[in-house]
């Protein structure tokens, strides 16, 4: 008991000294919480090789099966979620979001089985929801009682996902959406303006639930990120708990650098320094010189001094982190690795949402990889943790496609040009639906090999790669992926013309592996393609 007290007093002293150094203490290391320092970050090779990750954007908001942002919309008259909530649960002054949380049981959730499906489908990393804007934590937290170990499924969702990911050889990440929660959840403090319950406060206005719904924001505090220093400090403390307890390979933030200030920059620096740490002694064993900045627990020599962690946020990076585009694409090759996050359906389960076909997933993946990007795909789970049959079928189709075409995706790098395309996009978030066909070609490289992937199977039985016309260099060999016999090909002034077998390898793509010398793309005239309406 005396030793426990002594350690407790020492930890109190550590935190006190850390507080004197700033509100956001970070692990000792090279990186400081400023943009100039973070410019020295280098994306780890595992992320550049991985190309494809799967995300479980899942939590209590799946319970009503009514789609994304339910916890906020249920407090907004006129919102579809408000209408649904009124019809199925009652008025939010009487039955609020706090009452939805116990209904999330995850009774059919089998993380081991799902991870095996994801690994077979080609995923090289997996991302668990850590907390959404609803301020409910999916990890075992000592700072916040509203968490999945205490309530709902009463399981450490983050911890169980992590264990399954590690078992099947996937890198593990977590997503945090907490930064926006403080202003996002303010609708819970309101009341109906008309009707029989006009003026009756919603349950979020009750002070005893403020640790879930937050205290009332100042009138001018309405941005995506709060300007309140207390909330910024709370965010840092809670996300740091997540990072320090689970040591994820990837941390995703739903927004730009949180709060655009030292809170967010300190978290990034702490994440990088923690990853590169050569040792991780218990705080009670740290020297007085180190206790101010080394408040974390990690295994010794975890990465030999190299930063192996990835930080995603929705802000231009110039290499400081990995820029993330929500439901978007890049218009060309970006010099820095980047990522699209998107979903096969709505973000949370929606009974009325039509799932994306596997062709859409494959084309998005191929396009991203050709432009130096990755794809993080949300696989929509039912509230009980299971997958719909059509989702499992899509994963099986993706596994079959990757078994043949994976060599043109994983571990590759962009070529000198990303492809031959008529898709005209500005790039950025919220623009991902385009009609592709076999004229659309994307390139990747690996070692001495150049891969050309058409986003469809040519109807006339001939694949024409115009960028590899006769002046493009010498071609020695052409192999059609998924075909065991040789194919006829010619390098003409029109392009590299490959005669395809009658039996299609894939309904979604046609991919060839080209080897040669001095291969450089020739200029080609534009082709016409119409984006989907």
pLDDT in tens, 63-111: 999 999 999 999 999 999 999 999 999 999 999 999 999 999 999 999 9
Calculate the CA dihedral of residues 317, 318, 319, 324 and round it to 10 degrees: 30
The pLDDT of 192-197, averaged and rounded, is 97
The average confidence (pLDDT) of the chain is: 90
Whether 284 has a pLDDT exceeding 80, the answer reads: no
- The distance between the two most distant Cα atoms of the chain, rounded to a whole number of Å, is 84
Per-residue confidence band for 528, with pLDDT thresholds at 50, 70 and 90: low
Buried b / exposed e across 295-327, counting CB within 10 Å, b at 16+? bbebeeebbeeebbbbbbbbeebeebbbbbbbb
pLDDT digits (tens, 9 = 90+) for 300-349: 344 567 899 999 999 999 999 999 999 999 999 999 999 999 999 999 99
CB 514 within 8 A of CB 452: yes
- Burial of 263: CB neighbours in 10 Å, binned 0-12, 13-18, 19+: buried
For residues 311 and 340, what is the distance between their CA atoms, to the nearest angstrom? 13
Q: What is the pLDDT of residue 135?
A: 98
Give residue 527's pLDDT.
Answer: 64
Residue 7 corresponds to which tokens in the numbers above?
A: 């350690």
DSSP 181-239: HHHHGGGGG-B-SSSTTTTPBPGGGSGGGHHHH-SPPPTT--SSS---HHHHHHHHHHH
Q: State how far the Cα of 406 lies from the Cα of 305, in Å rounded to an integer.
A: 31
Say what the pLDDT of residue 202 is.
98
Q: Evaluate if residue 286 carries a pLDDT over 70.
A: no
Specify the pLDDT at position 526: 67
Residue 296 confidence class, pLDDT cut points 50, 70, 90: very low
How do 441-446 and 52-56 pair as beta strands?
unpaired
Helix (H, G, I), strand (E, B) or coil at 428: strand
Overall pTM surpassing 0.95 (yes/no): no
**pLDDT tens readout for residues 478-509:** 999 999 999 999 999 999 999 999 999 999 99
SS3 120: helix
C-alpha 308/C-alpha 275 separation (Å) is 6
CA distance 319 to 268: 13
| CA gyration radius, the chain | 25
Count of other CB atoms within 10 angstroms of residue 199: 10
Q: What is the pLDDT of residue 86?
A: 98
pLDDT band at 21 (very low <50, low <70, confident <90, very high): very low
């Amino acid at each position: 008991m005396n030793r426990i007290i002594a350690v407790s007093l020492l930890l109190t002293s550590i935190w006190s000294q850390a507080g004197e150094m700033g509100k956001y203490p970070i692990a000792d290391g090279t990186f400081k919480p400023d943009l100039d320092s973070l410019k020295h970050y280098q994306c780890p090779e595992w992320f550049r090789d991985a190309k494809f990750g799967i995300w479980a954007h899942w939590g209590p908001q799946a319970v009503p099966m009514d789609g994304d942002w339910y916890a906020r919309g249920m407090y907004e008259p006129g919102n579809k979620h408000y209408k649904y909530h009124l019809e199925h649960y009652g008025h939010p002054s009487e039955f609020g979001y706090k009452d939805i949380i116990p209904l999330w049981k995850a009774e059919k959730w089998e993380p081991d089985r799902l991870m095996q499906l994801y690994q077979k489908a080609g995923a090289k990393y997996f991302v668990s929801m850590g907390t959404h804007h609803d301020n409910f934590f999916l990890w075992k937290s000592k700072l916040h009682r509203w968490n999945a170990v205490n309530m709902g499924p009463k399981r450490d969702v983050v911890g169980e996902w992590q264990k399954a990911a590690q078992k099947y050889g996937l890198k593990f990440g977590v997503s945090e959406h907490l930064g926006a929660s403080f202003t996002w959840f303010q609708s819970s403090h309101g009341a109906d303006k008309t009707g029989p319950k006009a003026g009756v406060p919603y349950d979020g206005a009750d002070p005893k639930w403020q640790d879930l719904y937050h205290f009332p924001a100042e009138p001018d505090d309405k941005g995506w990120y709060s300007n309140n220093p207390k909330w910024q400090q709370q965010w840092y403390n809670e996300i740091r708990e997540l990072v320090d307890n689970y040591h994820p390979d990837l941390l995703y933030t739903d927004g730009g650098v949180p709060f655009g200030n030292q809170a967010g920059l300190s978290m990034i620096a702490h994440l990088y320094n923690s990853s590169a740490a050569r040792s991780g002694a218990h705080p009670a064993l740290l020297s007085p010189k180190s206790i101010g900045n080394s408040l974390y627990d990690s295994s010794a020599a975890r990465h030999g001094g190299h930063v192996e962690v990835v930080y995603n946020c929705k802000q231009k990076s110039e290499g400081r982190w990995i820029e993330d585009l929500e439901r978007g694409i890049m218009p060309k090759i970006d010099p820095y690795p980047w990522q699209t996050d998107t979903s096969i359906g709505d973000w949370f389960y929606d009974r009325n949402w039509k799932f994306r076909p596997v062709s859409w997933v494959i084309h998005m993946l191929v396009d991203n990889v050709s432009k130096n990007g990755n794809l993080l795909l949300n696989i929509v789970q039912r509230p009980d943790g299971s997958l719909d049959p059509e989702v499992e079928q899509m994963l099986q189709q993706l596994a079959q496609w990757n078994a043949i075409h994976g060599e043109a995706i994983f571990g590759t790098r962009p070529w000198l040009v990303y492809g031959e395309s008529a898709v005209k996009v500005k790039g950025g978030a919220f623009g991902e639906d385009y009609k592709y066909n076999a004229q659309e070609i994307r390139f990747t490289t690996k070692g001495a090999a150049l891969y050309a992937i058409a986003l469809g199977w040519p109807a006339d039985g001939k694949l024409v790669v115009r960028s590899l016309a006769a002046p493009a260099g010498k071609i020695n060999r052409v192999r059609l992926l998924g075909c065991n016999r040789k194919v006829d090909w010619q390098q003409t002034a029109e392009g590299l013309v490959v005669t395809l077998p009658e039996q299609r390898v894939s309904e979604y793509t046609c991919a060839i592996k080209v080897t040669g010398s001095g291969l450089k793309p020739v200029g080609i005239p534009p082709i016409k393609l119409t984006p989907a309406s």
